[in-house]
């Protein structure tokens, strides 16, 4: 019995590739729209009775999508679907992983608990694991994490001669060191303090011995872009070349892409975990042996 893949809006290209590379799969059809009052209308057109299904939905701008996925999963179960896998290349709600100010909640945990109540399996790429070190700490369903490091390292090896990889904060060390080792190049990691959504301070990079290298900023998520913008500012002050920015999850809220280019990035390249014009590293091969 073939597994049926459903592409949520803006996940069509990736889903097409996934179906092409898995002979045991087929594409499913469904209709989703809003009623005039804003409520969600959903109809699953394909036959999914006694079939496993995969919902491909990256969770940038996540709130509406989470409700759509909930309604889809409940409808699918009512139509006889067996296992429901959520394939979410970008997993949202991972950064509120602690109570930073009195009155807050650990929303990572709440959202994970909610997904675990209606999904059977989760597959994702490089989720933002910091204070939570493993998805199994917050998800009670089976989870699988894939990593883009190898693909990013290949891209850097091919495209950036004499690279120095720079991670903007201690959280980034996990993927930055991995990418640098795989690409066989040097790396350094900076210190970051965030005091608000758009207020970020980055330590001055000690790059004296790398003056003739081409800096490559690597980060997992770019949202407001403030982390990269602040880092670029420091690199300019140190007379380094305009950096290349490599991003795993191109969330790019509120014009962030343009702001990073204006700040002096020579190029921004991202993985297609979220559809964006900066996509240049295809993550679909990661799913071949899942």
Helix axes 226-237, 256-263, angle to 10 degrees: 0
- Supply angle C-alpha 139, 141, 146, rounded to 5: 80
Residue 169 binding ligand R5P, by CB under 6 A: yes
Closest approach of Cβ 226 to ligand R5P, in Å? 4
Closest approach, Cβ 258 to ligand R5P, in A, equals 13
Q: Which is nearer to ligand R5P, 28 or 167 (CB)?
A: 167
With contacts defined by CB under 6 A, name the span among 100-108, 164-172, 209-217, 262-270 that binds ligand R5P: 164-172
Residues from 185 through 244 that contact ligand R5P (CB under 6 A): 200, 219-227
Contacts of residue 79, Cβ cutoff 8 Å, sequence gap at least 6:
44, 48, 49
Q: What share of the chain is helix, strand, coil (3-state, %, to 5)?
A: 30, 25, 40
Closer CB to ligand R5P, 85 or 223, in the complex? 223
Answer yes or no whether residue 126 interacts with ligand R5P by CB under 6 A.
no
Q: Determine contact, residues 268/279, Cβ cutoff 8 Å.
A: no
Q: Which is nearer to ligand R5P, 51 or 192 (CB)?
A: 192
Please identify which residue in 15, 60, 172, 231 interacts with ligand R5P, judged by CB under 6 A: 172
Walk across the sheet containing 267-271 and list its strands: 186-189, 163-167, 214-222, 244-250, 267-271, 279-281
Q: Are strands 53-56 and 25-27 parallel, antiparallel or unpaired?
A: unpaired
Distance in Å, CB of 221 to ligand R5P, minimum? 4
Distance (Å, whole) CA 93 – CA 14: 22
Q: How far apart are CA 58 and CA 275, in angstroms?
A: 9
Closer Cβ to ligand R5P, 76 or 269, answer by number? 269
Helix (H, G, I), strand (E, B) or coil at 144: strand
Task: Answer yes or no whether residue 171 interacts with ligand R5P by CB under 6 A.
Answer: yes
Sign of CA dihedral 59, 153, 198, 196: positive
Among residues 164 and 190, whose Cβ is nearest to ligand R5P? 190
Nearest distance from residue 37's CB to ligand R5P, in Å?
Answer: 34
**Binding residues with ligand R5P: total (CB under 6 A):** 14
Nearer to ligand R5P, 157 or 194 (CB): 194
If one asks whether residue 28 binds ligand R5P (CB under 6 A), the answer comes out as: no
Among 62, 89, 168, 205, which residue sits at the site for ligand R5P (rule: CB under 6 A)? 168
Give the count of beta carbons closer than 10 Å to the beta carbon of residue 209.
10
For ligand R5P, the closer of residues 92 and 183 by Cβ is 92
Specify the residue, 77 or 236, whose C-beta has the smaller distance to ligand R5P. Answer: 236
Contact (Cβ atoms closer than 8 angstroms) between residue 251 and residue 95: no
Q: Is 71 exposed, middle or buried (0-12, 13-18, 19+ CB in 10 A)?
A: middle
Stretch of 27-35, 101-109, 165-173, 281-289 lying at the interface with ligand R5P (CB under 6 A) = 165-173
Residues that bind ligand R5P (CB under 6 A): 168-169, 171-172, 200, 219-227
């Amino acid at each position: 019995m073939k597994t049926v893949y459903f592409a949520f809006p803006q996940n069509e290209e990736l889903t097409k590739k996934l179906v092409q590379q898995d002979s045991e799969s087929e594409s499913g059809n469904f209709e989703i729209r809003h009623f005039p009052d804003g409520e969600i209308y959903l109809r699953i057109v394909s036959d999914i009775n006694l079939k496993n299904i995969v919902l491909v939905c990256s969770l940038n701008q996540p709130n509406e999508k989470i409700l759509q996925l909930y309604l889809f999963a409940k409808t699918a179960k009512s139509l006889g679907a067996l296992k429901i896998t959520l394939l979410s290349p970008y997993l949202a709600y991972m950064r509120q992983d602690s109570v930073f100010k009195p009155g807050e909640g650990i929303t990572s945990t709440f959202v994970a608990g909610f997904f675990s109540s209606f999904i059977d399996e989760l597959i994702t790429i490089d989720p933002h694991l910091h204070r939570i070190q493993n998805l199994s700490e917050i998800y009670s369903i089976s989870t699988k994490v894939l990593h883009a490091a190898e693909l990013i390292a290949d891209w850097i090896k091919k495209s950036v001669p004499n690279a120095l990889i720079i991670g903007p904060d201690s959280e980034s060390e996990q993927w930055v060191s991995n990418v640098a080792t795989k690409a066989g190049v040097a790396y350094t990691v900076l210190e970051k303090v965030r005091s608000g959504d758009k207020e970020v301070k980055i330590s001055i990079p000690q790059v004296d011995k790398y003056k003739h290298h081409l800096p490559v900023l690597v980060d997992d998520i770019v949202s407001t872009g403030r982390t990269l913008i602040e880092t670029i500012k420091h690199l300019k002050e140190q007379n380094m070349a305009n950096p290349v920015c490599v991003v795993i999850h191109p969330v790019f809220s509120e014009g962030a892409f343009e702001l990073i280019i204006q700040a002096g990035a020579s190029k921004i390249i991202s993985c297609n975990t979220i559809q964006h014009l900066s996509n240049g590293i295809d993550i679909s091969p990661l799913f071949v042996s899942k």
